[in-house]
């Protein structure tokens, strides 16, 4: 096995046992990127020299036996909407194509404090507006399982970089689906935490009331490790929760006998047959593990599309106001089609006379959707359903479909607007050999329980541990 193929947990262990050095690990990832990224296009920026230097430093620390840096020497890819001090951060937009931030996002700061090495910044839909990476102002990322297909998005570059073993761990961000949907299409673990569990400081804002940073990884344990490091209160983000962060690793293998898992037929009806069947099969696997599976009623996820679209476009129109042409070198003509569409729709929704009809109404429906989930979680502990209605679609699918993302993300939008945590985990493959994702949703701050269920499912399905051939 090559070093770049290791999981984060394996790499941590190997480095500490001095089976290989951080430099070897980093170089193995850099070689892999050189080999496959011309085809995949996961990365916008690769920080080769910087990463090698940091790996050298990490080896020094490892030699000294420094033990307060759990991610020491671990190569990461970071979605390009996370500000990285001294490293170009573009949000895949032409407006910010040359922008180098003078500061680190809180997530980046915490990863670096823990010893992580940033290998590079990954492609995404421009400003995170999309679910394909096709709205990137630079290029489209390809799916490692089939280069003629999309990786999903907006964190498509991060998911592809994990699926293709270009790095050991990755960070994405989700507004609605941007972690879970590309993870589903690329067969990775992707965890969108509760809104406010992870600080948004330094993440280029999209939908401020929903944006949630989270890990994209090879295993559930890796996701638990990273979440434990990046989660928690932040004096720079007033919406970050001060609730104590659990030790997610401690309870991963706790038996889940008697856990009540709900599912809503509405979510399965929205998915294609192959996806629906595979996720249903997974429910039976969970039943064998001792959980109680129960059908519950949830609103048709379609209602969430309108609510999410109005809230998100409104916030987008406000958040992109700062790119007014005075700074960053590129004026507003550099905005891509999708960004312009969103700015116009959001501006309209917030305009005098329309605010009550659109934004305020959407907020009210949002409250009702939150209540719908609260009701469900009085009956069951977790809810499971397909992550995406389909497996990865062919390149070009999003073109000429302004609502492509909203439809592709229909199954994650309800839990997103309710601020709930949700984990995507691979649960099988289609006839074409494309990964199928299942999502586990829980009440607010139930990250520990979700990871626990995800881990036991992962352990029960070792046959799914396969890698794409690129």
Partner 1 sequence: MKTFIGLEVHIEINTKSKMFCSCSSDHFSKKPNTQVCPVCLALPGALPYPNREAVMDTIKLGLALNCQINLKSKFDRKHYFYPDLPKGYQISQYDQPLCIKGEFNGIKIRRVHLEEDTAKLIHEKAEGGDEVSLIDFNRSGVALAEMVTEPDFHNGQDVVNFLKEIQLVVRYLGISNADMEKGSMRLEANISVGEGDELPDYKVELKNINSFKFVKNAIDYEITRLTELVNKGERPVQETRGYNQATGKTFSQRSKEEAHDYRYFPEPDIPPMKFSEPEIESIRELLPELPKQKKDRLIKDYGISDYYAGILIQDQGRADYFEEACKVEKSDLISAKTIADLMVNKNLDQEFPEPSGIVKKIIELIKKEYAGENEVARAVEKVIQDNSKAVEDYQNGKGQILGYLIGQVQKELKGQGNPGDVNKKLLELIQK
**Which chain residues interact with partner 1 by CB under 8 A?**
81-83, 89, 91, 96, 99, 101-103, 105, 200-205, 208-209, 235-239, 314-315, 317-318, 320-322, 324, 326-327, 347, 350-352, 355, 359
In what helix (H) or strand (E) does residue 77 lie, and over which residues does it extend? strand 75-79
- Smallest separation (angstroms) from partner 1 to the CB of 308: 14
**How far apart (Å, rounded) are the C-alpha atoms in residues 367 and 359?**
13
- Smallest separation (angstroms) from partner 1 to the CB of 406: 19
- Smallest separation (angstroms) from partner 1 to the CB of 119: 20
Q: What 3-state DSSP class applies to 34?
A: helix
Considering just the CA atoms, what is the radius of gyration of the chain in Å? 21
Q: Which is nearer to partner 1, 347 or 430 (CB)?
A: 347
Q: Which is nearer to partner 1, 71 or 91 (CB)?
A: 91
- Quickly tell me which residue has 């690329």 as its tokens: 186
**Residue numbers annotated as active site:** 79, 154, 178
**How far apart (Å, rounded) are the C-alpha atoms in residues 124 and 115?**
25
Q: Which is nearer to partner 1, 351 or 374 (CB)?
A: 351
β-strands 260-263, 292-295 pairing:
parallel
Q: How far apart are the first and last CA of the chain?
A: 16
Which tokens belong to 209? 């009331």
Q: Which is nearer to partner 1, 96 or 220 (CB)?
A: 96
From residue 457, how far is each of 256, 307, 320, 431 by CA, in Å?
Answer: 10, 32, 41, 22
The alpha carbon of residue 277 and the mean position of all alpha carbons in its chain are separated, in whole angstroms, by 24
- Smallest separation (angstroms) from partner 1 to the CB of 190: 21
Phi, psi of 16 (to 5 degrees): -70, -30
- Smallest separation (angstroms) from partner 1 to the CB of 99: 7
Q: Which is nearer to partner 1, 52 or 209 (CB)?
A: 209
In what helix (H) or strand (E) does residue 303 lie, and over which residues does it extend? helix 302-319
Asked if 203 and 107 touch (Cβ cutoff 8 Å), the reply is yes
């Amino acid at each position: 096995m090559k070093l770049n193929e290791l999981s984060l947990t394996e790499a941590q262990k190997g480095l500490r046992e001095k089976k290989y050095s951080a430099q070897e690990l980093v170089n193995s990832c850099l070689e892999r990127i050189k080999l496959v990224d011309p085809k995949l296009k996961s990365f916008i920026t690769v920080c080769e020299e910087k990463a090698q230097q940091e790996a050298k430093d990490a080896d020094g620390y490892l030699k000294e036996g420094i033990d307060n840096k759990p991610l020491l020497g671990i190569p990461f890819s970071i979605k390009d909407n996370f500000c990285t001090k001294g490293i170009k951060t573009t949000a895949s937009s032409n407006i910010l194509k040359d922008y180098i931030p003078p500061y680190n996002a809180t997530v980046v700061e915490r990863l670096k404090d823990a010893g992580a090495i940033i290998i590079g910044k990954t492609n995404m839909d421009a400003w995170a507006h999309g679910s394909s990476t096709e709205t990137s102002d630079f290029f489209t990322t390809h799916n490692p399982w089939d280069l003629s297909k999309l990786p999903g998005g907006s964190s498509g570059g991060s998911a592809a970089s994990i699926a293709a073993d270009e790095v050991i761990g990755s960070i994405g961000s989700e507004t609605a689906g941007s972690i879970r949907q590309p993870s589903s299409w690329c067969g990775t673990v992707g965890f969108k935490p509760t809104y406010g569990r992870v600080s948004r400081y330094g993440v280029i804002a999209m939908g401020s009331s929903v944006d949630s940073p989270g890990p994209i990884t090879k295993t559930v344990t890796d996701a638990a490790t990273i979440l434990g490091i990046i989660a928690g209160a932040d004096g720079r983000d007033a919406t970050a929760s001060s609730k104590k962060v659990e030790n997610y690793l401690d309870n991963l293998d706790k038996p889940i006998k008697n856990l009540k898992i709900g599912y809503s037929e509405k979510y399965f009806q929205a998915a294609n047959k192959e996806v629906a069947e595979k996720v249903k099969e997974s429910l039976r696997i969970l039943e064998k593990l001792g959980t109680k599976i129960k059908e519950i009623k949830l609103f048709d996820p379609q209602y969430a599309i309108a609510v999410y679209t109005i809230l998100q476009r409104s916030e987008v129109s406000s958040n992109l106001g700062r790119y007014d042409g005075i700074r960053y070198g590129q004026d507003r003509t550099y905005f891509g089609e999708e960004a312009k569409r969103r700015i116009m729709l959001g501006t309209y929704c917030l305009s005098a006379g329309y605010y009550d009809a659109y934004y305020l109404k959407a907020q009210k429906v949002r409250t009702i959707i939150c209540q719908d989930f609260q009701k469900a979680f009085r009956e069951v502990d977790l809810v499971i359903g397909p992550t995406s209605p389909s497996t990865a679609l062919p390149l070009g699918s999003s073109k000429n479909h302004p609502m492509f993302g909203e439809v592709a993300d229909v199954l994650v939008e309800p839990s997103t607007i309710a601020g709930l945590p949700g984990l995507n985990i691979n649960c099988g493959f289609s006839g074409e050999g494309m990964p199928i994702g299942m999502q586990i949703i829980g009440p607010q701050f139930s990250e520990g329980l979700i990871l626990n269920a995800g881990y036991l499912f992962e352990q029960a399905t070792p046959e799914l541990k396969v890698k794409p051939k690129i």
